Structure 1
Amino acid sequence: MPTVLITGAASGLGLAFLQHYLSLPTPPTIIAVDRHELAPVNRAHYTKHILNVSSEQSLQDLAKELKHTPIDLVIHSAGIRGLVPSAVAAHPGDAPATESLEAMDVATMLRTFESNALGTFLVIRTLLPNLRLAAAPRVVVMSSRMGSLSYNTTGGGYAYRASKAALNAVVKSFSVDVPEIHFLLVHPGRVETRLVEWKEEGAISAEESVGDMVKLLEKGNEVESGRFVDRWGVDIGW
């Protein structure tokens, strides 16, 4: 029975992935990870862990618990949007105003990098021994088209854009340095994930996005390791 580890499993895309795998006729062994409490699940072969993905100590504790456990698939969806809290209070419902040049501050930049870029690096590095125990290990990371330099024609989004560009660089390096593991960066679309406190125009549900990404994952390693694609598998410019 394969083992799937999902980060950010308490909400948004992580929760939608968790619900998908739990709904399968024969669910895999599932390891759910989040910094918040996860809803109880009365299923065999399911465990949950509360931890901060940017905390090296928390991840070391997880590694001790998972020692000698092969992990076939890691779905890393934990992350934050990087909106300036004071700007959110002043401009509710206006995402561009909450991450603009005028609004951005050092604390928000650092917090977003810590969660999105450093957290991704630490999660993957921590789980490498477990992935190497699997026959055909894969790591799927939720990126964003906002991390694409070539796609950026509107500016703004300083913390989120920069942190996702850094995340892309981190995962690309893993794909080169650890060729025995398949890595994929996926833009899930504009999804209503509660990374912001309101629904953005044109946002789709997490369930719809995950439905498309699951079809992509079912293609196995058809998409080359280290690629940056949308939820249908179409390449996104770096």
Structure 2
Amino acid sequence: MAKYLITGTNRGIGLELVKQVLGQGHDVVATCRKPENVPELRDLQRANAALRVLPLDLASAESRQVLVDALNGDAVDVLINNAGMYGPRDANIGSLRESDWAEVMLVDVIAPVLLTQALLPNLRKGTERRLAFISSKMGSISDNGSGGSYLYRTAKSALNQAAKSLAIDLQPEQFIVLSLHPGWVLTDMGGPNALIDTNTSVAGMLKVIDSARPVDSGFFFAYDGAAISW
């Protein structure tokens, strides 16, 4: 049994991650901005002693520290940085706004890496030492054949770069660091035309996380295990 910490668990992929990890018999610390507004999380917590739900506003340094303090030095085996945002859908050339871009970069790149940094003492106590960053194929430069989506594309590209550096820097401590593409998923962010459901995406990503070997650290994989070009 391992202990997972998962961010962005109020809906979609994050909520499904909680359900499936609990179903595998692991302990879970689930975080989101306002867990009191997520009935499904409350129901899961009442039914599962292995689930702890804690508030986290990822963009807030104070909130990140409150989370770390609440863990009270407990070990974390697997950290899944899932929380993120797309930004305004009209953020294309000619309508880009600095404040929008800064917010997406903070939530999608800077805050997850700083949270990981803050949780390193907990992760070092764990036996698994696995870090997963939920990225997107839209962060792949070689796959960009349609342009647009400046905020989300650049944020996920930057997240991939940060994950690669973490993989190198933490390799001496036997950490495994992965960037994961969840697929085009039927969620609020993915929209109604997406190709797969959350169950398929999450089951695949958890398999990738669980089966990853040290040689896989620092690479970019799809939910089905296929390698993705940077």
TM-score, normalised via structure 2 length: 0.90
Q: 1:192 aligns with which of 168, 177, 186?
A: 186
Q: Does 1:160 align with 2:165?
A: no
Consecutive unaligned residues of structure 1, counting only runs of 5 or more, are 85-97
CA deviations over 1:173-192 (Å, ceiling 9, x no partner): 11111112110101011112
Alignment-derived partner of residue 81 in structure 2: 76
Q: Count the aligned residue pairs.
A: 221
CA RMSD of aligned residues (A): 1.6
1:222 shift after superposition: 6.2
Instruction: List per-residue Cα deviations over 1:18-60 (Å, max 9, x = no partner).
Output: 0112223xx2111001113242121212211111112111111
**Is residue 210 of structure 1 aligned with residue 202 of structure 2?**
yes
State yes or no: 1:47 paired with 2:47: no
One of 20, 30, 33 as aligned partner of 1:32: 30
What secondary structure sits across from 1:183 in the alignment? strand
Maintained 8 Å contact 1:143/1:187: yes
Distance 2:77 2:108 in 1: 22
Tell me the residue number matched to 2:14. 14
**1:60 equivalent in structure 2:** 65
Structure 1 residues 149 and 220, CA gap change in structure 2 (3 angstroms): closer
Does 2:189 align with 1:221?
no
**Mapping for residues 36-185 of structure 1, pairs under 5 Å:** 36-37=34-35, 38=38, 39-40=41-42, 41-42=45-46, 43-84=48-89, 98-179=90-171, 180=173, 181-185=175-179
What's the CA shift string for 1:181-233, capped at 9, x where partnerless? 1101010111122126x42x233211111122222233142651111111122
What's the secondary structure of 2:152's corresponding residue?
helix
Shift of 1:13: 0.8
Query: Residues 222, 174 of structure 1: CA spacing in aligned structure 2 closer, same or farther, 3 A cutoff?
Result: closer
Identity of aligned residues (%): 31
Aligned to 2:222: 230
Which structure shows the higher helix fraction?
A: 2
Provide, for residues 64-105 of structure 1, a one-character-per-residue CA deviation record: whole Å limited to 9, x for no partner. 121321111111110001225xxxxxxxxxxxxx23213322
1:8 Cα deviation after fit: 0.7
